[in-house]
Structure 1
Amino acid sequence: MEIAVGSTNPVKVAAVERTLEPYEPTVTGVGVDSGVSEQPRSIAETVRGAENRARRALADTEADYGIGLEGGVARLEGVPGLSLIMWGATTDGDRLERGSGPTLRLPDRVADRVADGGELGPVMDDLLGTENVAESDGAAGVLTAGLTDRTQALGEAVACSFGPFVTDTYDGVWKP
């Protein structure tokens, strides 16, 4: 199984490799434009970025599936503050499925800077005194004290968007 990931970010590629390991895929990162802002600021924009990445990765390769992953921030109804969100999209060229990863409330000092126009990764790097936190544990790892990390969190979005392609329950056949 050949998988094209719509990013060359090693964390996103690793999330796909780790999550789909039981299927023994060959995973290739493909640099594509998400078609959304560097910091998506709604669920709709984050999902659109994941969809664009999936479609463009597949179109640029001979892979069986294209997978797009996108992190963003959003204000969620019934949830105080600004939240980190993660979405995945998977396509085989005919069908497009979407799934989300975890959602985490951002601390006020982070949320305020992001709400003022900052990007989450650089804001976190500045506050933590790090470089490229988005290519390691990510905000998810920092904000959960390592209970999860960016690779694992994005892996959940991979599982939820890829799952419909490997189960019969979406084809009208229910096999519990």
Structure 2
Amino acid sequence: MRVGVGSTNPVKLSATESALSAIADAPVVEPVAVDSGVSEQPVGERETAAGAENRARNVLDAGEYDLGAGLEGGVAEVEAADGLFLTMWAAVTDGDRLGRGAGPRLRLPDAVATRVRAGEELGPVMDDVLGIDDVAEKQGAAGALTGGIVDRERALAQAVAGALGPFVTDRYE
């Protein structure tokens, strides 16, 4: 089985491999550069989830894959709590079925949220705040905001695992 991941980000590739490792005869996972069809900084659950779905579908259009996986990070206001939250969505499709899963939501510090609300992208803001480059390809905001308890790869792997539900169980039929 071949699975294409709609990104060349090594963290997204590793997260997908991690989620799929529990499957017998774990599939080959390959990065595929595709467009998300959403803004560089998705805002809201709907736009973030749509980016993941678009990436998953675009993978299948880009090559001969059994499954397309898309992962998207964004920011969202949530009804249950004040503040701006980091959110993560994953989608997996075989062209007919579509599975969706989400990772944890993490409240952004006010100083970070203010800059993101003003139009800056979360990744570069976190790079600036932390004084390091390419946080998104390392621990991610999730790792920085939890002191490493949950890093970006593990958070995204949980989202992918949730999206795999329709493909690993018959509970969705």
Q: Say whether 1:43 aligns with 2:33.
A: no
Which amino acid counterpart does residue 11 of structure 2 have in structure 1?
A: V
Distance in 1 of aligned mates of 2:97 and 2:166? 10
SS in 1 for 2:83: coil
Structure 1 SS opposite 2:13: helix
Cα distance per residue 1:151-176 (max 9 Å; x no partner): 000001100111221101112xxxxx
Question: How far apart in 2 are the matches of 1:80 and 1:61?
Answer: 42
Query: How big is each residue's C-alpha offset from its partner over 1:77-126, in whole Å with a ceiling of 9 and x where there is no partner?
Result: 02110000000001001111211111000000110000000100000000
Q: Which amino acid aligns with 1:113?
A: R
User: Are the counterparts in 1 of residues 38 and 50 from structure 2 also a CA contact under 8 Å?
Assistant: yes
Partner residue, 2:3: 3
The residue number in structure 2 matching 1:83 is 85
* Amino acid of the structure 2 residue aligned with 1:7: S
Task: Calculate the aligned-residue CA RMSD, in Å.
Answer: 0.7
Which of these residues, 96, 107, 110, is aligned with residue 109 of structure 2?
107
Shift of residue 25, structure 1, vs aligned partner: 1.2
- The gaps in structure 1 that reach 5 residues or longer are 172-176
Q: Distance in 1 between matches of 2:52 and 2:171?
A: 23
2:141 equivalent in structure 1: 139
Q: Measure, in 2, the Cα distance between the counterparts of 1:165 and 1:17.
A: 15
Partner of 1:22: 22
Q: What corresponds to 1:123 in structure 2?
A: 125
User: What letter matches 2:106 in structure 1?
Assistant: L
C-alpha displacement at 1:22, in angstroms? 2.4
In the alignment, the residues of structure 1 paired with residue 18 and residue 79 of structure 2 have an alpha-carbon distance, to the nearest angstrom, of 32
Q: In structure 1, how many angstroms separate the alpha carbons of the residues matched to 2:2 and 2:37?
A: 24
Partner SS state of residue 99, structure 1 = strand
SS of the residue 2:73 aligns to: strand
Corresponding letter in the other structure for 2:6: G
C-alpha separation in 1, matches of 2:162 and 2:18: 14
Secondary structure of 2:171 counterpart: helix
Q: Which of structure 1's runs of 4+ aligned residues deviate more than 3 A?
A: none
In 2: Cα distance, 1:80 partner to 1:164 partner: 33
Identity of aligned residues (%): 61
Please give the TM-score of this superposition, normalised by the length of structure 2.
0.97
Query: SS where residue 39 of structure 1 aligns?
Result: coil
- Contact 2:140-2:151 within 8 A present in 1 as well: yes
- Residues 36-69 of structure 1, C-alpha deviation per residue, up to 9 Å, x if partnerless? 0000001110011000000001111111100000
Distance 2:133 2:60 in 1: 31
**3-state SS, counterpart of residue 81 of structure 2:** coil
